Structure 1
Amino acid sequence: MSKTANWNYPTSIRFGVGRIRELPELCQSVGMQRPLLVTDRGLAGAPITTAALDSLKAAGLGAALFSELKPNPVGANLEAGLAAYHAGKHDGVVAFGGGSGLDMGKLIAFMSGQSRPVWDFEDIGDWWTRADPKGIAPIIAVPTTAGTGSEVGRAGILTDERTHTKRIIFHPLMMPKIVISDPALSVGMPAFITAGTGMDAFSHCLEAYCAPGFHPMAEGIAVEGMRLVQQSLVRAVKTPDDLDARADMLAAAAMGATAFQKGLGGMHALAHPIGALYDSHHGMTNAVLMPYILKFNRCVIEERITRLAAWLGLANPGFDSFLELVMQLRRDSGVPHSLAEMKVTDEHAALVAKMAVVDPSAGGNPRELTEADCAKLFDDALHGRL
């Protein structure tokens, strides 16, 4: 079966190999004549990026590139991006790449016509209503990794260097108008990034599935997203040019980000401060934390994990067989067992716990998290005590 389709949930998604060719036409369809292509430094000179930029210019569009951003983007990166956007008189953004490029592209488009500082639009209460909707430029998102799902999200994560805190900036119109999900663009991902981003997609689905509250649509999407990761992550890591596996992982990433409107949990609550303080890869940090958080939550999620294990076709479906699936996925895709193997130390242990317990994701954990719980979870994951 050909894995090619047009989807309109949660936004318009052009899915399939080779669909990056449609980029110039799609830019024009949303009113862009001078798009700013935003990506990270690592992708700036990559053939897929150069080809995309060349195609825009060949179509007569006044395209330019911005790539001055850190793996965990900070406020100064946004300021530089906005300066480039206005200097080039751009009228829209092509957000291109992994989570950092996608988030930064969305944030530049969002902030391009705002008069208040970005921190005034943090995802707190109704702060998003402070924004001028007419000042939000159109966005086309092109994911090149399969993990964050930022291409179908209405928010961007930005690190506040003053407090070393990752903040979620939210507005409904930050949702890209069109997404191009082309599996061929992810073929060049290194194994480490393929594994980390893939496990990030799995963590989004898993935490959304386990979060309290009633949202059966999100849960259904999350369950199928996990099945796709189970089926295809290791293939994508070990056989990088397997386009069917890459397609499954791209779909799973978008599904995870669609599902987690129901909530996230302890994995992300801890991963956010760890990433901000140690500059660790977000998806890989979630992957390392996953079994420790699962065991902590076991007493309140065992019944639903048993249902999940049955859906995934595990022998003797239950919590233990699902935990073993997680451990096997980690082993087979090269995920470290401990945070120490990612060069995380205990230097900021107390601060991680303080930050984790007030992280917005903490409220979605199925079991209440205390600062002491977060401190122990961090210490266990640091030293590999499962």
Structure 2
Amino acid sequence: MSIHKFSFPTPIHFGVGARKLVGQHLKDLGFKRPLIVTDKAMADLPLMAEFIGHLGGLDVAVYAGVHGNPTASQVTAGGAAFKAHQADCVIGLGGGASLDVAKVVGLSPTHDGPILEYAWDHPKARSITGPLPYFVALPTTSGTGSEVGRSSVVSEDDTHQKRVIFHPKLLAQTMFADPELTVGLPGKITAATGMDALTHNIESYLSPAYHPLCDGIALEGTRIGAAALHTAVHQPSNLKARSDMMMSSMMGAIAFQKDLGAVHSCAHALGAVVDMHHGLANALMIDVVMAWNHEAVPEKFNELAHVCHVKGGGSAFVAWLKELKTSIGITGTLSSHGVKPKHMARLVEIATADICHQTNPRPCTASDFEKLFKAAM
């Protein structure tokens, strides 16, 4: 498979073996001391040693303190590692959590104040005014699309509530999308992250915001992901399916500059309250929310059914989502995944306060969220 290079707006090297190009890319730009930001599981894999081998001639340090939903303290520790190594650039290697931390790990060494003061909704929000370290991204999952996004989601350490730092300077300067990096993913992670990618594409398309460019990207991202996800889960070495899921993931992240919807508000609440994996949370909520959204924009659901080759129109598309989840091993309800009635009030509170549902095709109240969570229990 050849390497394809394009910009949208991040320069992207896409194809099998793209990871092997990173070292020469950094050398050509004069960088010498990269900090790799990743999680502990990735740091211990042979893949990491192999990747560092491709960086021959560079003085490499690794920060592997990312785990779960990334927190402010993880970012701060990464910033300290950046300073200790006297790093001159950042390589983000991993899933969405690692990439989100990598985007902002250079913020504390170059800007004043706690990291969360740069979140858009902080009462005294600071602005990113100075330059950030050169940053390249290598995704090892196909779900969040963080590699092409200009935001970083970081949780508060005490409340676990997610905060969003958003700025064009957070975009990776260059991205290397290598499907081989996803081949070793367990089936459960492939399934959950794949549903995250589909949710991004679907919710972006359903958003009432006007952005025909994103609509086109979201529909094509949905088509590609819908056709590839089952194969990627059940034939993990199938590089065509892995490539398609990586592309669908990137397209979903590009499209959601048009914004998302109520599925993500629910997922953010589940992440904060029970620390649920974001992709799994989206998967458990998507068919429930889509069944509720269908009456608001039936023509858009018909179009989604069309690109996914689902016969029977929009209502059949909702049923197809549920069948797809089962076919890739995502089963059960919120209650079977650790959500209890005592969590309900807090879930509703966080979902209602979340910004994503402001572009849901159907307006959501606290009462609506309570009904949706109960329907998913």
TM-score, normalising length from structure 1? 0.94
CA RMSD of aligned residues (A): 1.7
Are 1:99 and 2:96 counterparts? yes
Equivalent-residue separation in structure 1 for 2:124 and 2:227 (angstroms): 40
Does residue 367 in structure 1 map to residue 366 in structure 2? no
Matched, 1:171 2:170: no
Matched, 1:17 2:12: no
1:241 counterpart (237, 241, 244): 237
1:216 maps onto 2:215 in alignment: no
In 2, the alpha carbon distance for the partners of 1:328 and 1:95 equals 34
Report 1:78-93 matches (<5 A). Answer: 78-93=75-90
1:67 deviates by: 0.9
Residue aligning to 1:345: 340
2: distance between equivalents of 1:30 and 1:379? Answer: 54
Q: State the AA in 2 paired with 1:81.
A: G
Contact 2:198–2:221 under 8 Å retained in 1: yes
Structure 2 residue 111 is the aligned partner of structure 1 residue 114? yes
- Alignment of 1:199 onto 2:199: no
Q: Which residue of 1 aligns with 2:54?
A: 55
Q: Indicate yes or no: 2:282 matched with 1:286.
A: yes
Q: Structure 1's 126 and 133: CA in aligned 2 closer, same or farther, altered over 3 A?
A: farther
Label 1:257 to 1:3 Cα distance change in 2 as closer, same or farther (>3 A): farther
Q: Quick check: 2:215–2:255 contact (8 Å CA) kept in 1? A: yes
Matching of residues 134-283 of structure 1 within 5 Å: 134=131, 136-283=132-279
**Residues 126 and 231 (structure 1), Cα distance of their counterparts in 2 relative to 1, 3 Å cut:** farther
Partner SS state of residue 303, structure 1: helix
* 1:27 to partner: Cα distance: 2.1
CA distance 1:31–1:347, change in 2 (3 Å): farther
- Letter in structure 1 aligned against 2:98: G
- Could you list the per-position Cα deviations for residues 199-248 of structure 1 after superposition, in whole angstroms to 9, with x for gaps in the alignment? 00000000000011210110110111111111110100000000000000
Does residue 1:381 correspond to 2:376, yes or no? yes
2:294·2:315 contact (CA, 8 Å) conserved in 1?
no
Which AA in structure 2 matches 1:132? T
Q: State the 1:378 CA deviation.
A: 1.2
Distance 1:323 1:26, change over 3 A: same
Q: Tell me which residue corresponds to 1:73.
A: 70
Change (3 A) 1:266 1:183: same
Matching of residue 132 in structure 1 with residue 129 in structure 2: yes
Distance in 2 (alpha carbons) for counterparts of 1:52 and 1:3:
19
Residue 38 in 1 paired to residue 37 in 2? yes
Cα distance in 2 for partners of 1:105, 1:94 equals 7
The letter for the 1-side match of 2:255 is A
Indicate the SS of the match to 1:37: strand
> Does the C-alpha gap of structure 1 residues 294 and 43 become closer, same or farther in structure 2, counting only changes over 3 Å?
same
8 Å contact kept, 1:40–1:71: no
Shift of residue 125, structure 1, vs aligned partner: 9.8
Is the 8 Å Cα contact of residues 265 and 352 (structure 2) preserved in structure 1?
Answer: yes
Is the contact made by 1:53 and 1:64 (CA closer than 8 Å) also made in structure 2?
A: no
CA contact (8 A) 1:113 1:132 kept: no
1:30 Cα shift? 4.4
SS at match of 2:9: coil
Structure 1, 115-124 or 260-269: larger mean CA deviation: 115-124
For structure 2, which runs of at least 5 residues remain unmatched after alignment?
none
**Paired amino acid for 1:71:** G
Mapped contact 1:198–1:229 kept (Cα < 8 A): yes
Give me the whole-angstrom Cα distance separating, in 1, the residues matched to 2:165 and 2:337. 28
The alpha-carbon distance between structure 1 residues 170 and 128, as it changes in their structure 2 partners (threshold 3 A), is farther
Percent identity between the aligned chains?
36
* Contact 2:203 2:261 survives alignment (8 Å): yes
Look up the SS of the partner of 1:130 in the other structure: coil
Structure 2 Cα separation of the partners of residues 186 and 45 of structure 1: 16
Measured in 1, the distance between the counterparts of 2:296 and 2:375 equals 20
Question: What is the Cα deviation at residue 312 of structure 1?
Answer: 2.8
Report the TM-score when normalising by structure 2.
0.96
> How far 1:99 sits from its partner (Å)?
0.7
Residue 323 of structure 1, aligned match among 318, 321, 325: 318
Q: Give SS of 1:227's match.
A: helix
- Kindly state the Cα deviation for residue 294 of structure 1 after the two structures are TM-superposed: 0.4
Q: Aligned partners of 1:27 and 1:361: how far apart in 2?
A: 36
